[in-house]
Structure 1
Amino acid sequence: MKMEIWKYYDITHKEHLVCNPTSIEKLNKLLDLMKLKSDLKVLEIATGKGEFLIRLIEKYNISGVGVDLSPYHLGDARRKAKERVPNADLKLIEMDGADYKPDVSESFDLSCCLGASWIYNGHEGTLKYLMSQTIPNGLIMVGEPFWICKPPKEYFN
């Protein structure tokens, strides 16, 4: 019996607030460093459980669009948003980020993709896509997981 991939990720990421390998401390530091104006419009591709967008709303009162393929993670995101930012202008869309086309291109003040550049076949494709969705002089943020040091061979076994 083959497990559905998004159910697998739901199980393996059940205890994670953020689906990428980072700490809440680092996430909060990033949010503090951003110093955004309120009322910006933000796009997050591969939003996962929506923690980054929800924290942006809590801190800066932005409006947001989060796109993700996982119905399980988006379910978590919707529950958290309803509890923490019930009146926010937040749209959570279940679809492949590669297929997301907003009504108006270049309409976001900040476009980001954290830990999922594979959606656009790598870093260059990710940057091109995010640029196409961001207003002139807007912000683009891309983050990728990486090894601090190569793990031992046994780790992969």
Structure 2
Amino acid sequence: IPILTMPNDDITHPIPDLTGFITEGQIVLSRELDSKNIYPPIDILTSLSRLMKDGIGKGYTREDHPSVSSQLFASYSRVQEVRSLAGVVGEDELSKNDKMSLEFGKLFEEKFLKQGKEEEREIGYSLDMAWEILSNLPRSELTRVSLADIREHIRVAGD
């Protein structure tokens, strides 16, 4: 695997930015996740795969894989926004949904992202775990998954 470091962790620096165009994807490691002892410390929001869309879903992994993946990305992105807001106004001033997003973020990092160094996870197990973690969010926050999938896979908090 080619490894590229960048000045000041700046992924927009011309060298990593241009190098990214000739690869099939990038795995970006996060110093913040590493400092929380999350292994592997993969920053899912800046990492990408240009091939994933052609290898997931019905006939490849599981039918719900594309939508649950999209929902995880959207929900974790929201976590980052709420963390920034909490840094300004304090957690006590956050709405109930914002606090639920923070809790989702902790669960997502500790249960989904964090893996033992010798741990081997089956895709079905990971998808089931994703639904379990998403069940901690109110239904109004689950905008990337179908109602049928919600009914099949989770009981949504806050209903």
For normalisation by structure 2, the TM-score amounts to 0.27
> Which structure shows the bigger proportion of residues in strand conformation?
1
For normalisation by structure 1, the TM-score amounts to 0.27
Q: Which has the larger radius of gyration?
A: 2
